[in-house]
Structure 1
């Protein structure tokens, strides 16, 4: 499994609806946060090693109601805090 983070920009007034739909329908979703700034939501998703990231984002995230734009970050390593570095 590998983690990806996706920032999601929503149509005006749709962030909570979009977040609920993502939580209800995307099994790969680990955590979803509301954020301030250019994007409205930040999602952490775990994909299988052979799962296509681009296809996942375009087919599952960008098709959610209210999604206007996305920005995807692929994570390489997870560190366990200051003592784990």
Structure 2
């Protein structure tokens, strides 16, 4: 599994709706509300044989009211 962190910027007033939709898909191991430029932070484990970008597009970014995302790939844990 590849661990990635995905930050989501939502349309104003839509953060809770987006969070509920993300949670309902059961693809995140953790989901947080955050301050700053992005509204939500999701920790997602992507299967090794999946293309990271395609997986995120197909499973997450088609949720309505997401304006922008920022994905951080992780590497070896220390």
Q: TM-score, normalised by structure 2?
A: 0.92
Quick check: 1:62–1:68 contact (8 Å CA) kept in 2?
A: no
Q: How does 1:1-85 map to 2 (within 5 A)?
A: 1-25=1-25, 27-79=26-78
3-state SS in 1 of match to 2:77: coil
CA distance in 2, matches of 1:38, 1:64: 19
The CA RMSD over aligned residues, in Å, is 1.1
Q: In structure 2, what is the Cα distance between the partners aligned to 1:2 and 1:57? A: 12
SS at match of 2:19: helix
Number of residue pairs aligned between Structure 1 and Structure 2: 78
SS in 1 for 2:36: coil
Structure 1 gaps, min length 5 = 80-85
TM-score by length of 1: 0.85
**Structure 1 stretches of at least 4 aligned residues deviating more than 4 Å after TM superposition:** none
The structure with more radius of gyration = 1
